[in-house]
Amino acid sequence: MTRNVNPGLEGIMQALCLSPDNRYAAAYTNNNQTVLLNCLTSEFIVIENPFENGETVSGVNMLNTHLFVHGSFSLCRYDLRGNLESKITTNEDPNQWVLMSVKFITLTCNRFIFWSGRMDDTRMMMQTTKDNNTGPKFYFHSAMAINKEETRLYCCPTKNSYDISQFDFIDNEWKLIKNLKHIGNCTVLQIKLSEDSSSLLGTISNGFCIWDLSLDGTKVLHLPHGVRNITINMMQSNSCMLSADKRFLVAGVRKMLYVWNMETELLIKVLDAHFGRIISLLPLTTGNWNSVITSSIDRSVKVWNINNIFEQVHVIDRHELQIDSISLSHSGLAATVTRGCVGIWDINTGRLIQQLADNLLGAIVTQALITPDGKYIVCSESGNLLIWNRILCRVIFKQQQPGIQQIMLLDEATKCLTVSKQEEINVETQQNIDATAIVRSIPDGKCIYSFDYQVRNVTGMEFKELVVTADGLNLIALASDKGHREALHIFNASNGEYVTKIVLKQSGMKDIMFIVAMPHRANLVAVINPDKGMLFDIRTKKFLKSIPKWGGFCTKDGKYGLYAPTRGGLELLELKKGSSVKTFIPRVAEGVFTVICMFNKTDEYVLYYHSGKKTLRVFRLTDAKMLANYRVPAELSAIETTEDGRAVVIATVDGCLTVLAIADPIKDSFLSALPSRDETWKKKMDKQRTAKLFKAAAAITKFCVSVNESNLKEEVGNSINSSQLILSKG
């Protein structure tokens, strides 16, 4: 990128136009502002809407000396300093003909294109002026292409027909020269000339059509089944281009690139080109170049070398939306949550295996957990709680439960706890609202028990999740109490009965972030504030001590915690004394950024993510030595570590899931376990895949047999009932 100019406008920039000498550029926004930019000095001028009576800006055009801005029936001419020189109004009735585009070759030569103003009416009309002499009106519909000299055009002139004809500009009017070859009953959405004007490229609803203007030949290339071209705007649809040697046609549809062989007319290559829909495709075939340029709604521009386009492409799987959370199983599977679906990944191979959504068109997924064995997935989707059979990709339990804030697995994933908040119209006027916790069995979803408690209703405040004690006997919730106080409510995890509560009377209890059940002692729970952690004993209901600077993360033995302020630095705290024992990162003022820090599952390493630097650092706990400083490709949105502590799984806002192996130089076992160090890794993966397929086939067979048996029982029951009915009538 050679220049990046931000004019600071709130609207969406549209219709970029360059002057013939490329010194100036212009564009307009959807709030009727026009920007005139000097490409050499980066100076720009913002021109407000020059039209009256509600007329909006709908297009711009440029000469080396002037800027033209037009609306639906008016045209303004500016000099390159932004001064208005003239303003004219077209002679056409704006209720019948709307000005769609203008093109100035010189101040005395131009063409105006009008359209009906409705997308379902494709009629258009063109007025051409040469040396201030305006020719007769020229009518056509649907599509039009004109050469660079403005002397020859191709269009659909006949009503209710998509046959293409050639017209030449002779004696100040467009005269019919010939009709191109008929292509059948195809709807033409767009036509354009190739770079050398030797071919006409047409976009039809189910593919692309190419007319060879020198040989009068025609070829129709069809898209795969289920893929169609759509009209983006009048005379605008998905584009295509010919390679420099005219052997291949490349087209961009949705987010894919399709490549056809022009000799065989067969589709030979499909590339996953962009993260979002392709909005523009242009050829670059001048000189030795044989490339295609694509731009996408994902804000990226890519240049593709057609000479190398048939090389093997290794696609990196990813979601279309950002990943919000990760859940790992012990069987090498990961469940990821995006707004539209739950993704199932094989973290050993990096493949996205499945995308689960009960409502494929309008699913809103907020939470999801996968069981340790990888067989079931519990998720909340569009106000419903779902339990999926992962192998069958089938919902086996569904029940409405709006406002789910938390899902947690209990008793070795044989039960699931869901917590939802009350969602009503008048909730904003209440200080406290009800939260409902329901424990269900997995996989049948049978309700075992439920209980309610009240939580504070503060706009913008995150929900404080329940925690389960280390022995799994109690559930602890942060609930609202009398006045503005809060309390810890303890519930029995086996039957949901209320046990007791601990009122939080200590100072600094107004800004509670979350609560932590200490992993080494079942009677201890910590309440975490921005500047400290406070330890309570739920058996004696007493406050034990305050631990300054503790952020809530601790080792499994409860000895050490982490202190990572947002302004920079990372320290290891000894929780018994509350003192700092190791410094991983010195306290250096780096600005206030989002910081994520945690221990891995084996407590051997400390992970630290800094949103400003976009780096994930790994430290060894024993000597505080940094082992890795990995720069993430996009902002981190979720992070987890595997049970063996050897890998880190990260998710980013671009929808990618990345598995990073911790390469500790002093542990040979870590390095030898890497796929790149194991020559038999591929064979092992194939063997595991075969075993998984066999298990899946067995599960599907078992399910089909059970369904068949139930159907047979129903048929036998129906036949017995019908026989009894006949006997009773007899």
Q: pLDDT tens digits, residue range 65-115?
A: 999 999 999 999 999 999 999 999 988 888 889 999 999 999 999 999 999
The tens digit of pLDDT for each residue in 261-314 reads 999 999 999 988 887 889 999 999 888 889 999 998 877 888 999 988 777 666
Residue 643's pLDDT is 92
pLDDT band, residue 715 (cuts 50/70/90):
low
Backbone angles phi, psi at 684, to 5 degrees: -65, -40
Mean pLDDT, to the nearest integer, of 567-595?
Answer: 87
Whether 608 contacts 616, CB under 8 Å:
yes
The rounded percent of the chain whose pLDDT value lies above 70 is: 93
Instruction: For residue 203, give Cα distances in angstroms to 48, 276, 640, 720.
Output: 36, 21, 47, 62
Mean pLDDT, to the nearest integer, of 16-39?
Answer: 93
Mean pLDDT, to the nearest integer, of 665-686?
Answer: 74
Whether 528 contacts 513, CB under 8 Å:
yes
Instruction: For residue 246, give Cα distances in angstroms to 194, 195, 655.
Output: 10, 11, 37
The angle at the Cα of 250, spanning 244 to 256, to the nearest 5 degrees, equals 150
Angstrom distance (rounded) from CA 156 to CA 123: 10
Largest CA distance in the chain: 102
Which H or E run contains 692? helix 681-729
Which pair of tokens denotes residue 408?
A: 């947690």
> Is the Cα dihedral 313, 319, 320, 322 positive or negative?
negative
pTM: 0.63
At residue 101, the 3 state secondary structure works out as strand
Buried b (16+ CB within 10 A) or exposed e, 119-157: eeebbbbbbbbbeeeebeebebbbbbbbeeeeebbbbbb
Residue 725's pLDDT is 46
Domains of the chain: 13-237 (2.130.10.10), 238-311 (2.40.10), 549-687 (2.130.10.10)
Angstrom distance (rounded) from CA 472 to CA 447: 19
The tens digit of pLDDT for each residue in 344-381 reads 999 988 889 999 999 877 889 999 999 999 999 999 99
pLDDT of 727 > 50? The answer is no
Angstrom distance (rounded) from CA 16 to CA 59: 9
The tens digit of pLDDT for each residue in 111-132 reads 999 999 888 899 999 999 999 8
Mean pLDDT, to the nearest integer, of 534-555?
Answer: 91
Residue 355's pLDDT is 92
> Is the Cα dihedral 563, 637, 391, 711 positive or negative?
positive
CA 707 to chain CA centroid, Å, is: 38
DSSP 175-220: EEEEEPPP--S--EEEEEE-TTSSEEEEEETTEEEEEETTTTEEEE
pLDDT of 679 > 80? The answer is no
Residue 571 burial by CB count (10 A; 0-12/13-18/19+): exposed, middle or buried? buried
